[in-house]
Structure 1
Amino acid sequence: MTELHQAAAAGDYDLVEEILKRNKCNPNQKDIDWNNKTPLHWAAAKGQTEIVRILIENGARPCLRTDNGWTPAHFAAESGKLPVLRYLHSVCAPIDMEDCSGDRPIRIAEIYGHKDCVQFLEKVKAECREHRRTAVIKGLPPKDFDDNWVEERREVERQNRMGHHKKSCFLHK
């Protein structure tokens, strides 16, 4: 966990700002010891809207995913952090992506009983789809794509298929 991860998790805005000004840490660095969470994931989970804002303004990508496919929006929805969800939506961050289990932030908010988050996410669902559609029409790269995560998922699936194949070959010998 980097100093920036720690400051974001602790909600220390001044330290986050100082670290970013010194260009000391990559705001998109994934922490392998914590399921590939970025500082933005931590800030979203803790409901630190101003830290989420300053991280994004300094290059943090809100499309980055953890091992299980969670975006910062999933963490905000789990914790019931409506202001964070509102901010993420205002900057066209992906707030409706599926995780590895097929759950979107709206489902996570439902599970944890955060009705205000569910209502907001339901209200902006069409806007999210329209934003993606407009980006495609204009030929803009999608903001909600984590290339590395997609590649990692393909590799995991490939290894699972190979492992399954090896098991079945072993059973037939």
Structure 2
Amino acid sequence: MKYNYHVPVSTYTRSSQLTSSYYSPSHYTPTSTYASVSKYTPTQLSTTNYTPSYCTSSYKTAATYVPTYSRDSRHSSTRRTQENPAPVVPVAPPKRTVHFPNDIIFKDNVRRGDLEQIGRFIRARKVRVDTIFNSGMAALHEAVLTGNLEVVKLLVKYGADVHQRDEDGWTPLHMACSDGYPEIARYLLAMGASTEVENESGEKPADLIDPDCKELAKLFETGCV
């Protein structure tokens, strides 16, 4: 038989006792140096300035651009332009058109004594002769204050009322007496102006006459008007 489990096993005896020992490695000493490391010693810094190769004479010099015209010719061209400058054509500023109301223009014509324009405005019916202006007076009052008898006559001719009052109740005769215009006062009286009309202060035309104005004072003496 191949195996016999009943056969006793003989006792195994080791040939020798195992003795433990410690491994003491010896220092590794290479038989040959792989590469000897030498200490690097930098060379002394040279004070010589570094000059790159492109700055040396061996480098190709860049071409210099030369314009087709010289500096002198350019300046001479400028001088020719300055010697013969182009003519300057003055440009007139745009005109501003301002439109005024007809009564403002008419009042200005009365104050300036422009008989032609006064007649033209009235005939064209651009204004009314009894219009009260922003001054508080009508055209006849304005004419009396300027002392222009011809304008007064023209306005009366075109229908101005000799009894018309201004905003303070003054008639044209009040103004003629107050401002010392005897010729205008005489004309207004001839046109039927009343001497008894009072203004808002209760004054009659005769009450406004300056005593030094003898001609007006005589005109309003008892029995003369």
Scaled by the length of structure 1, the TM-score of the pair is 0.64
1:74, 1:27 → 2: CA distance? 19
Q: CA deviation at 1:110?
A: 2.7
- 1:22-171 to structure 2, matched below 5 A, reads 22-31=124-133, 33-35=134-136, 37-110=137-210, 113-123=212-222, 127=225
2:170, 2:109 → 1: CA distance? 20
2:164, 2:183 → 1: CA distance? 20
Q: Deviations over 1:14-51 (max 9, x none)?
A: 221221222221000012x212x000001111111111
- Structure 1: segments with no counterpart, 5+ residues: 128-173
Q: Deviations over 1:78-104 (max 9, x none)?
A: 221111111111111224411111111
Equivalent pairs: percent with the same residue?
24
AA aligned opposite 1:34: S
* Secondary structure of residue in 2 paired with 1:122: coil
Q: What is the root-mean-square deviation in Å for CA atoms of aligned residues?
A: 1.9
Q: Deviations over 1:79-137 (max 9, x none)?
A: 211111111111112244111111111111137x4221122123566x4xxxxxxxxxx
* Secondary structure of residue in 2 paired with 1:110: coil
Higher helix share: 1
Q: CA deviation at 1:4?
A: 2.1
1:70, 1:122 → 2: CA distance? 21
- Structure 2: segments with no counterpart, 5+ residues: 1-102
Scaled by the length of structure 2, the TM-score of the pair is 0.50
Aligned residue-pair number: 123
Q: Tell me, yes or no, if the aligned pair for 1:77 and 1:85 is still in contact at 8 Å.
A: yes
